[in-house]
Amino acid sequence: MKKQIHLNAFEMNCPGHLSHGLWAHPEDQRTRYKDLSYWTQLAQLLEKGKFDALFLADVLGIYDTYEQSADPAVRLGVQIPANDPMLVIPVMAMVTKHLGFAMTASTTYEQPFSFARRMSTLDHLTKGRIAWNVVTSTLQSSAYNFGLTDSVKHDERYEIADEFLEVCYKLWEHSWDDDAVVKDWANQLYVEPSKVNFIDHKGKHFSVPGPHLSEPSLQRTPLIYQAGTSGKGKELAAKHAECVFIGGYRPEVIKRNVEDIHRQAALFGRKSGHIKTFGVLTVITGRTTEEAQRKLADYSSYFSQEGAVLHYSANTGYDLSEYQDEDYLQYTETNHGQSLAALFTKDAAKPKTVGEIKHELGQIGNRGLLAVGTPEQVADQMEQWIDQTGLDGFNLMQVISPGTLQDFVELVVPELQRRGIYRKEYETATLRQQVFGGTSGRLPEDHPAISQLRKGNTHDAITY
């Protein structure tokens, strides 16, 4: 059987995600992000296209690094205004049966006890179709809004994330036995107390006695996504993530990161087949090459280079407004996104001037791979990248919404199906089963939530 390509749609609950300025295009509907119908229609389109999930990004602050001001981001609508991603999921779940939903949430600014309950609730309501994209949050403005005087240092953020995940695993996997809920009406016994356990977690960053307030959902633990490709980010992903989001547009760099994730995962005792990797992909397609190129030219006329530059500045901590175009940007350790900082510096094929970096940032698809052409040409390119890099699939970015996805679903999906590399129908129930197969929908035995925590699972049961 040919290797199957997995697909997520990459979006955000705001007027513009990564295609900066395209909210102004007459065919773009992202300014409808406040309408429930926008999200239900998008979800139904993705289910028609047999996508694994809608991957919802999020940010908890404003981009104010560029020119040391928030004004450019506000003026251009660069991920502001931005609404909560969690609250649109239930309505999308109501109009779909199989599509999964990956929600971004920060371990730096959440509390594991309350967060675990919200995720369990979503997993119940969606019948096991929830994923969590684990992020640690880099923005200084986020820190200020949560009462801190400075952002949490890079390595400490990942230390917090590791413990946060441990607490969540204890709540999701070890607080309730599978058969704790009895519903014995005759004896007035809804839950067997001896099968609900306190977790008694006491760590450096969190103290959570438990028990978990929600009974086990179909997946117990939501499917875990993670996007870090810094040293600490890769370590966290290798230990915890089931789906790893890998940015970049050079296949050789993507391949190196894919191999490194699998190598590190093996050190944690995890099997390679229990981790899937996803690249970033923008597709512009048409029935002819000329039509696709016309679309690219049209969309490019709306793309905001300034929006892309200020976004990059905020993500990396490098304020590009302070440089001359002829200056060379050098990689330096940053408290922000280290993989993005390396994208145009140490990971670049050759040194780049700031002017060259701005030019590249000003192109559609600047954060990842770009395929422009007929369905056959796009499918060829996707297959080639899968073969070259070892990726298992892609997070598909929209240029205009929902037009980009409509074109992909109507034109490219049938070509992928014809080649036998993409599903024709959904065959399983939970999101984890869609991605990995199997019959249970639960975490595998080699995941640290199962293999490591089980060893020390001596928590007290609830007693009368």
Q: Distance (Å, rounded) from C-alpha 72 to C-alpha 13?
A: 20
Q: Is 52 annotated as contributing to ligand binding? A: no
Q: Is 137 annotated as contributing to ligand binding? A: no
Q: Distance (Å, rounded) from C-alpha 434 to C-alpha 284?
A: 26
Q: Distance (Å, rounded) from C-alpha 360 to C-alpha 337?
A: 18
How is residue 285 written in tokens?
Answer: 């397609």
Q: Is 58 annotated as contributing to ligand binding? A: yes
Q: Is 158 annotated as contributing to ligand binding? A: yes
Q: Is 64 annotated as contributing to ligand binding? A: no
- Residue-level length of the chain: 464
State the binding site: 58, 104, 154, 158, 230
State the binding site for FMN: 58, 104, 154, 158, 230
